[in-house]
Amino acid sequence: MGISKDIINRIRKSNCTTDETFFQAVEEVLDSIQPVLESDSKYSKNSIVDRLTNPDREFKFKVVWLDDNQNIQVNTGYRVQFNNALGPYKGGLRFHPSVNSGILKFLGFEQILKNSLTGLPIGGGKGGSDFDPKGKSDFEIMKFCSAFMTELHKYIGPRIDVPAGDIGVGAREIGYLFGEYKKITSSYDGILTGKPFMFGGSLMRPEATGYGCVYFTDEMLKYGGKNDFKGRICTVSGAGNVAIHTIEKLYDLGAIPVTCTDSRGTIYDSRGIDLKLLKELKLKKRVSLEEYCKDHNDAIYTKVEDYSDGGHEVWNIPCDCAFPCATQNELTQIDAKNLIENGCISVTEGANMPSTPEATKLFLENDILFAPAKAANAGGVVVSEFEMSQNASMTKWSYEKVDNMLDQNMRAICKRVHLTAEEYGVAGNYVDGANIVGFKKVADAMIAEGI
C-alpha cells in the first residue's frame, strides 16, 4: 500500500524537524490507515492527518545545574504536548545524549496512538533532555532533576499533562522530580507516574511494560496457533527496565530467556540469564554487562565493536521468540533476515520502534508473528493510568489486582488489534491492526470535539 507523497511532503514542510525517526513513524501509520481514509471522507474533510501530525505545542528550555566539582553545566529540556483529544497529555521523559526535538516528536506521535489503543482516557506527549545520567553521582542526578523540574512544572498538572519515565528515567529520577515539584508548588499532586510506592506510586509500575509485552505475546502466540511459551528460547535486547521485566515474566511463563544487551555489548547465556545478577549489575551497581562473566564464565560476552556481519550479535542467536527492548531502530534488515533464517516465530517490540521499516517488512512478508511497539509495550502506560486513578481517589490497589488488570488489558488490546486486522482484510498484520484501532478512536474524538 503506497501513501500519497503529497501528504508526507506537506507534513515534512509543516514540521520544523530534521529527525527522520518522526517521519518514519508517520509514514508507517499513514500507510496502515490508507483504507480508513479512503472509506470515510470525514477524516480528510476535517484535516485529521495534518492536525494529528502537528503537536499542540512544544516547549524547549534551558536546564542549568551545578556538578560535584562546582562547575555550572547546561543542558536542554523539552516537553512535546502532542494531542489531548482523549485525556491529559501522557508520555515519558527520556534523559539520553541523543535526545532532540525530532526524537521526542516521534515518541510523542507514537504515544498518541498507543494511548488511544489502550481504550483509557489519556492523550499523547513526550519529553526529556540531552542530559546523560551515565557516570553522574546520585547528588548530580538530584541537582539535574531539580533544575529540570524548575521549568517543567509550569506546563504539567494532574489534568493537563502527566509525564512518566523512559530511557534514563526510573524511580530514582521520578522521586527527585516529584520532590522538586512539591517544593515549588506546595502541592501534593499526581503529576508524574512511576513514583515509588511509598509516595503515590502504583505497585507493578516498574514491571508493567516488560510483563505487558509477555502477556501480549502469549495471547498473540495463541491466535497464531503456536500455543504458549513453555520451553521456548527467547532472545531479549536491552538491560534496563523493560528488558529486565520481560525476562522476569518469560521465566514465570516457562520460557528460557538467553540474552540481554547494553550499549556496549551482548551477553549470551545458553542456560538462561541469571536475573538476580542482571538486576544487581544494572539496577543497583549500574555497570557494564561485561561484569556478568565474572560470575558466569561460561556465558559469552561480545563487545559492540566485535559484532560480525553488520548486524547485531543478539539477533544472530537462534531463538523461538525475540524481544527488542533497548531503543529505536536497533533491529535492521540483516538482523530480521538472521532471525527468520534461524527459525524465529515471533518478534515483540518492547522498545519504541526498535525495528527499521525494512526489518518490519521482512517479518510481515515471512508470516512472523510481529507485535508492534504501540500495542506490545502499552503495559507501562496502562499501569500509569492505574496510578493516576489511585492518586485521584487516594487509594492503593494490591499487586494481584494491578497484575490481573494489566494481564486483561494487554490481552484485550491484542484481541482488538487482531480482529481489526481481520476486518480490514490484513489478517495477522498487527502493524496495520494497531495503527487503525489507535487512529480511529483519536480521530473520531477530534472530530466530535470540533476545531
Task: Give the active site residues.
Answer: 126
Q: Which residue's CB is nearer to ligand NDP, number 48 or number 127?
A: 127
Q: Which residue's CB is nearer to ligand NDP, number 63 or number 208?
A: 208
The C-alpha atoms of residue 120 and residue 250 are separated, in whole angstroms, by: 26
Residue of the chain from 28, 140, 161, 166 that contacts ligand NDP (CB under 6 A): 166
Q: How many binding residues for ligand NDP (CB under 6 A)?
A: 22
**Is residue 327 at the binding interface for ligand NDP, with CB under 6 A as the rule?**
yes
Q: Which residue's CB is nearer to ligand NDP, number 87 or number 380?
A: 380
Q: Which residue's CB is nearer to ligand NDP, number 77 or number 92?
A: 92
- Whether 125 contacts 81, CB under 8 Å: yes
Could you tell me the sign of the dihedral formed by the alpha carbons of 333, 355, 212, 302, in that order? positive
Q: How far is the CB of 250 from ligand NDP (least distance, A)?
A: 15
End-to-end CA distance of the chain: 30
Give the x-and-dash track for 257-296 against ligand NDP (CB under 6 A): -----xxx--------------------------------
Q: How far is the CB of 114 from ligand NDP (least distance, A)?
A: 8
Q: How far is the CB of 241 from ligand NDP (least distance, A)?
A: 4
**Is residue 242 at the binding interface for ligand NDP, with CB under 6 A as the rule?**
yes
The C-alpha atoms of residue 261 and residue 313 are separated, in whole angstroms, by: 9
Q: Which residue's CB is nearer to ligand NDP, number 34 or number 327?
A: 327
Closest residue to ligand NDP in the complex (CB): 240
Q: How far is the CB of 43 from ligand NDP (least distance, A)?
A: 27
Q: How far is the CB of 330 from ligand NDP (least distance, A)?
A: 6
Q: Which residue's CB is nearer to ligand NDP, number 48 or number 334?
A: 334
**Is residue 380 at the binding interface for ligand NDP, with CB under 6 A as the rule?**
yes
Q: Which stretch binds ligand NDP (CB under 6 A): 18-26, 151-159, 214-222, 232-240?
A: 232-240
**Is residue 48 at the binding interface for ligand NDP, with CB under 6 A as the rule?**
no
**Is residue 417 at the binding interface for ligand NDP, with CB under 6 A as the rule?**
no
**Is residue 21 at the binding interface for ligand NDP, with CB under 6 A as the rule?**
no
Residue of the chain from 75, 101, 377, 390 that contacts ligand NDP (CB under 6 A): 377
* Contact set for ligand NDP, span 186-225 (CB under 6 A): 209
Q: How far is the CB of 158 from ligand NDP (least distance, A)?
A: 19
**Is residue 410 at the binding interface for ligand NDP, with CB under 6 A as the rule?**
no
* Contact set for ligand NDP, span 86-145 (CB under 6 A): none
Closest of 431, 437, 351 to residue 113, by C-alpha:
437
Q: Going by DSSP bridges, is the β-strand pair 161-164/256-257 parallel, antiparallel, or unpaired? A: unpaired
Residue of the chain from 112, 220, 351, 436 that contacts ligand NDP (CB under 6 A): 351
**Is residue 241 at the binding interface for ligand NDP, with CB under 6 A as the rule?**
yes
Contacting positions for ligand NDP (CB under 6 A): 165-168, 209, 238-243, 262-264, 325-327, 350-352, 377, 380
